[in-house]
């Protein structure tokens, strides 16, 4: 078998998902990356396994980690990085390789990848790795409760609340060069606009969730934003949504675009949790709780983030 190691340029988000998928596949399986068998002529015959295709992008995965920016990594990326360091993986023309157990000679690419698989599988059975999943689920539940209580507090203070939901994204051609720290910088810039831009007049609360799409829905970075306005003094939710989308384009210097849920109210109705909501309307509250669960969902959480950064941010409730 002639194995072709692809060196195609992947975005940071795509590479992180590649690593996550590889570690998950190794964790759930038992075999090696490749079957390596000696042949009659003294050379080796290499056969693919169900894991082999995960290594097509091994070079960008190996080169992924960059200490110039301090990041917090999810357990999948931590396991991959630690395994590479544990076996002493190094760059080579054929693909990453490492020394044999005695340290006297380099293993070939396929044998090195088999050793990497064995080390990753070992790490996924350690307590810290298994514990991290439990901790993440606990954080999701805690965030859901905190954001639900926050939404209730905001909507309880006025007889009417106007809600605006927008999805802040980046154009596909910009995702290739986009790094997660850029997304947090852009979200900081947009939040800073809330203090002085007229479109945020009567804003009484907000929530931002920075996420990373899965492969089915697109793997790029994006932000879900929810805004609460004083509904007694504000009624033009579609106008506000449109202007916020335009403001996001300005903040990102044209790299970003946005979709508004408010524009789809006529088709999808109250389940979107947008528009003007009465304080006494409990059925509408349940729609808001669904929005909250959507904001804190576990499936699209970031694989990495700037060290200490918060993926979910909510405003301090302002009474007017």
Which range has the worst mean pLDDT, 69-83, 226-240, 241-255? Answer: 226-240
User: According to the model, what pLDDT value does residue 24 have?
Assistant: 96
Average pLDDT on 224-229 reads 94
Is 50 exceeded by the pLDDT of residue 196? yes
User: According to the model, what pLDDT value does residue 216 have?
Assistant: 55
Task: Grade residue 234 by pLDDT with cuts at 50, 70 and 90.
Answer: confident
User: According to the model, what pLDDT value does residue 291 have?
Assistant: 87
Is 50 exceeded by the pLDDT of residue 2? no
CA separation for the pair 148, 287 (Å, rounded) = 11
CA separation for the pair 133, 144 (Å, rounded) = 17
Is 90 exceeded by the pLDDT of residue 88? yes
Q: pLDDT per residue over 90-103, tens digit each? A: 999 888 999 998 88
How far, in Å, are 116, 121, 226, 316 from residue 55 at the CA level? 11, 15, 39, 46
Determine what percent of the chain is predicted with pLDDT higher than 90: 68
Task: Grade residue 161 by pLDDT with cuts at 50, 70 and 90.
Answer: very high
Q: pLDDT per residue over 302-318, tens digit each? A: 999 999 999 999 988 65
Average pLDDT of the chain?
89
Token pair 């390789």: residue: 97
Is 70 exceeded by the pLDDT of residue 265? no
Which range has the worst mean pLDDT, 112-116, 121-125, 203-207, 283-287? Answer: 283-287
User: According to the model, what pLDDT value does residue 262 have?
Assistant: 83
DSSP letter string, 242-254: HHHHHHHHHHTTT
Average pLDDT on 248-254 reads 96
Average pLDDT on 274-289 reads 86
Which range has the worst mean pLDDT, 21-30, 33-42, 190-199? Answer: 33-42
The DSSP call for residue 260 is: E
CA separation for the pair 144, 155 (Å, rounded) = 16
Strands (E) in 216-311, as ranges, are 221-230, 256-260, 275-278, 304-306
Is 80 exceeded by the pLDDT of residue 47? yes
Determine what percent of the chain is predicted with pLDDT higher than 70: 91
Which one, of 67, 73, 78, 114, lies nearest residue 95 by Cα? 114
Is 70 exceeded by the pLDDT of residue 42? no
Is 50 exceeded by the pLDDT of residue 12? yes
Q: pLDDT per residue over 209-219, tens digit each? A: 999 987 555 56
Average pLDDT on 190-202 reads 94
Is 80 exceeded by the pLDDT of residue 220? yes
How far, in Å, are 142, 162, 207, 310 from residue 148 at the CA level? 10, 16, 11, 18
Measured in degrees and rounded to the nearest 5, phi and psi for residue 131 equal -65, -35
User: According to the model, what pLDDT value does residue 319 have?
Assistant: 56
Task: Grade residue 298 by pLDDT with cuts at 50, 70 and 90.
Answer: low
Is 50 exceeded by the pLDDT of residue 1? no
Task: Grade residue 37 by pLDDT with cuts at 50, 70 and 90.
Answer: confident
Token pair 């790795």: residue: 129
Which range has the worst mean pLDDT, 28-32, 65-69, 131-135? Answer: 65-69
């Amino acid at each position: 078998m002639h194995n072709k190691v692809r060196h195609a340029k992947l975005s940071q988000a795509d590479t992180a998902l590649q690593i996550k998928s590889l570690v998950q596949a190794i964790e759930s399986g038992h075999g090696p990356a490749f079957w390596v068998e000696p042949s009659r002529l003294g050379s080796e015959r290499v056969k693919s396994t169900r894991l082999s295709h995960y290594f097509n992008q091994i070079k960008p995965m190996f080169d992924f980690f960059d200490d110039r920016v301090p990041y917090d990594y999810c357990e999948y990326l931590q396991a991959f990085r630690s395994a590479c360091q544990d076996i002493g993986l190094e760059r080579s023309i054929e693909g990453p390789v490492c020394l044999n157990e005695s340290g006297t000679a380099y293993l070939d690419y396929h044998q090195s990848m088999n050793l990497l698989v064995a080390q990753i599988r070992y790490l996924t059975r350690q307590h810290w790795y298994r514990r991290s999943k439990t901790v993440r689920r606990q954080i999701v539940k805690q965030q859901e409760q905190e954001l639900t209580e926050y939404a209730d507090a905001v909507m309880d203070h006025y007889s009417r609340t106007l809600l605006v939901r927008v999805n802040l994204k980046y154009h596909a051609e910009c995702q290739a060069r986009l790094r997660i720290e850029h997304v947090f910088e852009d979200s900081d810039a947009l939040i800073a606009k809330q203090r002085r831009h007229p479109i945020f007049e009567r804003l009484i609360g907000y929530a931002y969730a920075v996420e990373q799409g899965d492969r089915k829905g697109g793997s790029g970075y994006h932000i879900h934003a929810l805004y609460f306005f004083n509904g007694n003094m504000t009624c033009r939710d579609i106008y506000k949504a449109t202007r916020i989308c335009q403001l996001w384009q300005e903040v990102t210097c044209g790299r970003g675009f946005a979709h508004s849920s408010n524009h789809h109210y006529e088709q999808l109705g109250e389940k979107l949790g947008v528009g003007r909501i009465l304080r006494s309307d409990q059925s509408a509250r349940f729609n808001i709780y669904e929005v909250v669960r959507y904001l804190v969902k576990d499936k699209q959480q970031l694989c990495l983030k700037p060290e200490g950064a918060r993926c979910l941010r909510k405003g301090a409730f302002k009474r007017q």
